A and B are shown apart, each in its own frame.
Chain A
Amino acid sequence: DTGVSQNPRHKITKRGQNVTFRCDPISEHNRLYWYRQTLGQGPEFLTYFQNEAQLEKSRLLSDRFSAERPKGSFSTLEIQRTEQGDSAMYLCASSFSAPLSGNTIYFGEGSWLTVV
């Protein structure tokens, strides 16, 4: 399978602990995105990378959140000192940067986080 891969798929953690999610994008894609989705809502943009450069961060991404894409391939999203409000599904997506093509973005299956 050559789609976007995320792990772990599910994570239950105690409040105050740190968690890290990993995303492996489609191999030819140079753009990588992180979104957050809560139940019954559409995904909300968190941040995105072009190659290894982090080009935009949402106001939703507080100081406790950090994302990296060190070699322009896989990415990690770390949440420090988790809070119950962080409980959500964290989605990774990837695409080509192709200005004239409609820039189709493909999503992974998501990583569910439950903070207890």
Chain B
Amino acid sequence: TQLLEQSPQFLSIQEGENLTVYCNSSSVFSSLQWYRQEPGEGPVLLVTVVTGGEVKKLKRLTFQFGDARKDSSLHITAAQPGDTGLYLCAGTNAGGTSYGKLTFGQGTILTVHP
């Protein structure tokens, strides 16, 4: 069974601070996705990373996929109250009937205080 360990589980910071969320596994994933979820809503895709070592930027968010495709990080610069939410990492496996099935981390609840 593939597992994704996400840390920290809770993060409470002031507006303007930087933060990093980590997603680690002992297994290799063919791709990794980051989602943001608001209470009562479904997860909304932020980014998909596919290549080991890949870095993608989305405004103040920077996503990195580890060289070995076992880990990933999400860095937010100058956090704003609108960044508040549940951040989820999820990996997909290649091959076989499990292809495309997402394995989720337990999530990081981010609160950004004005």
Using CB atoms and an 8 Å cutoff, list the residues of chain A in contact with chain B.
4, 6, 31, 33, 35, 40-45, 48, 55-56, 89, 91, 93, 95, 97, 99, 101-110, 112
Contacts and interface: CB of A to CB of B under 8 A. Distances in A.
Most buried by A among B31, B42, B44, B48: B42
Given A45-B102, A107-B42, 14 more contacts: A4-B42, A33-B101, A33-B102, A41-B107, A42-B6, A42-B106, A43-B90, A56-B101, A89-B40, A91-B43, A105-B92, A106-B45, A108-B42, A109-B42
B102 A109 contact: no
B104 A44 contact: yes
B80 interface: no
Size band of the interface chain B makes with A: 20 to 34
Nearest to B100: A103
A57 to B, nearest CB: 10
Given A41-B107, A42-B107, A48 B33 contact: no
